[in-house]
Structure 1
Amino acid sequence: MHERIGQEVTARAPRLWDVAHALHREPELAFEEHAAAKLLSGELEDAGFTVRRGVAGMPTAFTAEAGTGGRPRIALLLEYDALPGLGHACGHNLIAAAGLGAALGLQSALLSVSSPVLGGTVMAVGAPAEERGGGKVREVAAGTFDEVDAALMFHPGVNNWSWSPLTAQVQVQVVFHGRAAHPTGNPTEGVDALAALLQMFGALNMLQRRLAPGGHIQGIITDGGRATNIVPDRAEGLFGLRAATTSALDELVVQVTQCAEGIAAATGTRVEASRANAGYRHFRDNDVLSSRFAQHLRDTGIRLEEPTPGVYLGSSDIGDVSTVVPSIHPFVAILGSDQSDHTPEFAAAAAGAQGRKVMLAAAWAMACTAADVMSEPGLCERAWARQRARAAAGQ
């Protein structure tokens, strides 16, 4: 079966690279990926998949299914949004092409093999807005993954890691309300909301020093007043919070809120602190599946390792998927470890020879992992057992 999948992916390699390049040439931002969604869903529809567009209320989201319609149901995730000013500097064009290749290769291999133990549903999930907005968060809430047994994707990077240490994250909006006054005409009548917000930055700088590994706070001022000769009666800040686990993030939100309330009490202002978005949960790797993916990828000449202890790589909405479905999110390098994604150099690599090699290898390894879940007795059950164990342990 694995050999057959390899043949099917290899046969599609030129078209998959054309798709990756088409996405790279025309980068689209979060929730604006109309051309990408049309291209990808069209490729799947032409191959015989049943396509549903506008999933979870998002015009650029879709699902595509093929197979028996039963379980196990394997979701291959496609990301395709780009970064402002940098295009595909996170390599989502490669993620989309690899997911497409895995879905098409697996479907064709299933059609060519007659086996009483091989069955289930191949599902490609078009997931917009990973960089900003969290398309997968909305898809989870809409029930897209309710009948899914495994969610598989890879991410190009600068390390070959079998799983991703992705933190939980959320944005918190803090608004201080004071009282306007002339700074020299009647200064004692003013209550400076901006001064309170600046105190907030100082307090959070102290809090940052005490955070556990994976914790982080970064803030900006989004409203600091309108004129220098008016004491600001309103000041607003937006703070990005991260933590190694979702529960630790919840605790950090409480601490930030308490800081704001304390500063308001000390400065005579009134404050409102609230979550500005749904945020992302931390990623839970399913090592039953990620080890199988690494095993297959090794056959292509790419060896994955465990992540460097204590190193965290941002956040992603795959975290929300991983709370409800056994999931994988390995990193496969297209640049050296002295480089970084979200750079012009990474954008160039996402359209280069190493990007092509990694995309095709990941497509094959994901399709083989999916086939194993469909055919190997007990593998799906072991993945779910691991999922439940991590949830019970609060990991």
Structure 2
Amino acid sequence: MQDTVEAVYATVAGNVAARADRLWDVSTALHRDPETSWAEHRAAALLSGELERAGFRVDHGVAGLPTAFVARTGDGDGPRVALLMEYDALPGLGHACGHNLIAGAGLGAALALRDTFGEVPGTLLAVGTPAEEGGGGKVNEVAAGVFDGVDAALMFHPGVYDWSWAPLTASAQLRVGFHGRAAHPTGNPTEGIDALAALIQFFNTIAVLSRRLPSGSHVQGIVSQGGKATNIVPDYAEGLFGLRGGTTGALHRLVAELRSCAEGVALATGSRAEVTQVGEVYEHFRPNDVLAGRFTDHIARSGIELTQPTAGVYLGSSDIGNVSTRVPALHPFVAIMGADGSDHTPDFARAAAGERARRVMLASAEALACTAADVLMDSAIREEAWSRLREREKAETA
């Protein structure tokens, strides 16, 4: 069996190498032509076209999303593995999060596995997941059943650290509005109820709340509407607030606290509070050390050493969290620039088209394909991955 497994790994490596130039062409094409969330029409067409030409059966517009797709291959029986591709860019910054590399690696892994097995044992899905940066395509795909029956959902993310899994928080956005009563500030000031003053008091209340939030939780807000003129007491004001929690449960508790704060401020100021959720909730990422361990071992053959994340450090949020709380999932970070840099910057966008990025993308494609092969070929790995997921779920809800 070991000889067979090693032969598969070697074949995967050869197949990734054989497609290296084309994979890099696809990645750099995405980089040159960035499309933002929900508008990734050319990216989705490019990636799904590559898969279709390689013999994958492609469903377009899955989960009611025009730029989402699922490509599948295999005999349809037994295990199911999903390779995830992100391809949306940031407004004004292009691929400053490196999603062009995520797409290239996922595509390369899928094509290499089909080249290796011919008829994949089980089912291999290559899932196009739009709007990670704003909207959450994976949330819709989870709800639509795209990941039902999947034994492992695999992707990688370029970054500034070499970490075997991603410490990603849960996140949500709330719009908090206060309704007051307009008045002239000198003509009839006592008739007015200042909605902006209520909103400012809400910001002050949140500042006090923030001092006692647990690690991984925070609130960041902006004033999105504050009145129409300086000689009118504002009858409406609102703020937009981004909330994060180290776990999804912590996020829900924070949301409840903000609602209570808004009601308290409204009571104190004579206004009326209105709290609404904006967009989808991103759940926290639930790591799976079985899958992370396999990927770490495989990418080490390319000279990349992954470690555990630094304790207490969080790196934002992603809709991969909503997948990871339902099926075993993989989301390592692999560095394309030094730890003194950051994603969501022009420097990172430039790095995502550089020589180091090419090496990382190809190494990650090979490691993703080998990890997927492990899951497809070895029932013990599947069972252990599911067991670890259930253990983490139990620990988080205890």
With normalisation by structure 2, the TM-score equals 0.97
* 1:121 matched residue in structure 2: 123
Question: Match for 1:62 among 55, 61, 69?
Answer: 69
Question: Match for 2:216 among 210, 214, 239?
Answer: 214
Question: Match for 2:43 among 36, 52, 75?
Answer: 36
* 1:183 matched residue in structure 2: 185
Question: Match for 1:97 among 104, 115, 131?
Answer: 104
* 1:324 matched residue in structure 2: 326
Question: Match for 1:262 among 264, 283, 287?
Answer: 264
**Shift in Å at residue 376 of structure 1?**
2.0
* 2:295 matched residue in structure 1: 293
State the distance in 2 between where 1:375 and 1:260 align: 53
* 1:248 matched residue in structure 2: 250
**Shift in Å at residue 270 of structure 1?**
0.7
**Shift in Å at residue 277 of structure 1?**
2.2
1:149-199 CA distances to partner (integer Å, 9 max, x unpaired)?
100000000000000000000001111000000011000000000000011
Q: Report SS of the residue matched to 1:124.
A: strand
**Shift in Å at residue 284 of structure 1?**
0.3
State the distance in 2 between where 1:341 and 1:278 align: 22
* 2:3 matched residue in structure 1: none
**Shift in Å at residue 323 of structure 1?**
1.0
Structural mapping, 1:1-395, within 5 Å: 1-111=8-118, 119-394=121-396
**Shift in Å at residue 274 of structure 1?**
2.4
1:198-246 CA distances to partner (integer Å, 9 max, x unpaired)?
1111111111111111111100111111111110011111100001000
State the distance in 2 between where 1:394 and 1:156 align: 28
State the distance in 1 between where 2:78 and 2:36 align: 34
Letter in 2 for 1:92: H
Q: Report SS of the residue matched to 2:182.
A: coil
State the distance in 2 between where 1:207 and 1:107 align: 53
1:93-142 CA distances to partner (integer Å, 9 max, x unpaired)?
00000000000001110118xxxxx7111110000000000000000000
**Shift in Å at residue 278 of structure 1?**
2.2
State the distance in 2 between where 1:145 and 1:394 align: 22
**Shift in Å at residue 377 of structure 1?**
3.7
State the distance in 1 between where 2:77 and 2:208 align: 53
Letter in 2 for 1:40: L
Pairwise CA RMSD: 0.9
Letter in 2 for 1:39: L
Query: Mind listing any 5+ residue stretches in structure 1 that lack a counterpart?
Result: 113-117
Letter in 1 for 2:283: R
Letter in 1 for 2:354: G
**Shift in Å at residue 71 of structure 1?**
2.4
Q: Report SS of the residue matched to 2:71.
A: strand
Letter in 2 for 1:18: D
Letter in 2 for 1:81: D
**Shift in Å at residue 17 of structure 1?**
0.2
**Shift in Å at residue 353 of structure 1?**
0.2
State the distance in 1 between where 2:281 and 2:226 align: 25
Q: Report SS of the residue matched to 1:378.
A: helix
Query: Mind listing any 5+ residue stretches in structure 2 that lack a counterpart?
Result: 1-7
State the distance in 1 between where 2:253 and 2:379 align: 41
**Shift in Å at residue 374 of structure 1?**
1.1
State the distance in 2 between where 1:377 and 1:70 align: 13
1:317-350 CA distances to partner (integer Å, 9 max, x unpaired)?
0000001110010000000001100111100110
State the distance in 1 between where 2:244 and 2:357 align: 29
Letter in 1 for 2:110: A
Letter in 1 for 2:158: P
Runs of 4 or more above 6 Å deviation = none
Q: Report SS of the residue matched to 2:302.
A: coil
State the distance in 1 between where 2:211 and 2:77 align: 51
State the distance in 1 between where 2:378 and 2:82 align: 17
Q: Report SS of the residue matched to 1:335.
A: coil
State the distance in 1 between where 2:312 and 2:98 align: 24
Identity of aligned residues (%): 64
State the distance in 2 between where 1:360 and 1:70 align: 29
Q: Report SS of the residue matched to 2:124.
A: strand
* 1:115 matched residue in structure 2: none
State the distance in 2 between where 1:106 and 1:208 align: 48
* 2:5 matched residue in structure 1: none
State the distance in 2 between where 1:185 and 1:72 align: 74
State the distance in 2 between where 1:209 and 1:297 align: 41
